[in-house]
Amino acid sequence: MKTIVCYGDSNTWGAEPGTFRRMDIDSRWPVILGKNLGGGFHVVEEGLPGRTTVWDDPIEEHKNGKSHLLPCIYSHTPDLVVIMLGTNDLKHRFSLTAFDIAQGAGLLAAMVLKSNAGPGWSSPRALLVAPPPVAGMTYFAEMFKGAEEKSLALGKYFAIAAKERGCHFLDAGAFVRTSDRDGIHLDKSQHEILGREVANKVREIFSA
């Protein structure tokens, strides 16, 4: 049995676009990932709304992804950690470039690869997923002022960060788009697509 930890933000948690509710469990992409992989895999949902890559949020406390990553993976001893973070780093209050956001995500991947937190004190593999661009934001427009243009470059810089860190890479923006209802979160149809695409990548990783 191989264990996969999906480490992300509200899009991994399953936030329903335009609301503050959580989608039903069968609609969330980590669960869809598990169903597509079938037997032999255990998928752990580890999504936290508001989670950043490596930054302390002065308004939303306890959301620094770096702080919780190692305790999380030591708890689950995974074979693979899928990291999809960076959307919250686009908030105007952080004043970050797409390059800096990608480097923050890359640092998390490097932590996984050096952790010895996998089975038998091995280090888990890491899959860095660039989040899809934000667009047409409604409620979040002021919070994410200037984010749309920067988000278009995340795929490019996440690919560079993944190559530098020696981990696997997937650009979610190549397959899914954010909902017209809020411009940040994924509709159920996009969770379905993302779960399938991550499953394809996972099969590729473990067949190598």
User: Contact 78/3 with Cβ under 8 angstroms?
Assistant: yes
| Percentage of the chain modeled with pLDDT above 90 | 97
* Per-residue pLDDT at 20: 86
Read off the pLDDT of each residue in 80-85 and give the average, rounded to a whole number.
Answer: 98
Q: Tens digit of pLDDT for each residue in 124-138?
A: 999 999 999 999 988
3-state secondary structure of 130: strand
Per the CB < 8 A criterion, the answer to whether 84 and 78 are in contact is: no
Give exposure, 71-94, as e/b (b: 16+ Cβ within 10 Å). Answer: ebbeebebbbbbbbbbbbbbbeeb
- Span 52-81, mean pLDDT? 97
Structural domain range at position 72: 2-207
**pLDDT score of 3 more than 90:** yes
Could you please report the per-residue DSSP string of 160-208? HHHHHHT-EEEEGGGT----TTTSSSPPHHHHHHHHHHHHHHHHHHHH-
193 has a pLDDT exceeding 90: yes
Quick one: average pLDDT of 25-37?
98
For residue 34, name the pLDDT band (cuts at 50, 70, 90). Answer: very high
Q: What is the CATH number of the domain that holds 122?
A: 3.40.50.1110
In this structure, how many other beta carbons lie within 10 angstroms of the beta carbon of residue 207?
6
The alpha helices in the chain, defined as continuous H runs, are: 10-13, 29-37, 65-76, 98-113, 147-151, 154-165, 188-207
**pLDDT attached to residue 208:** 73
As for how many domains the chain has, the answer is 1
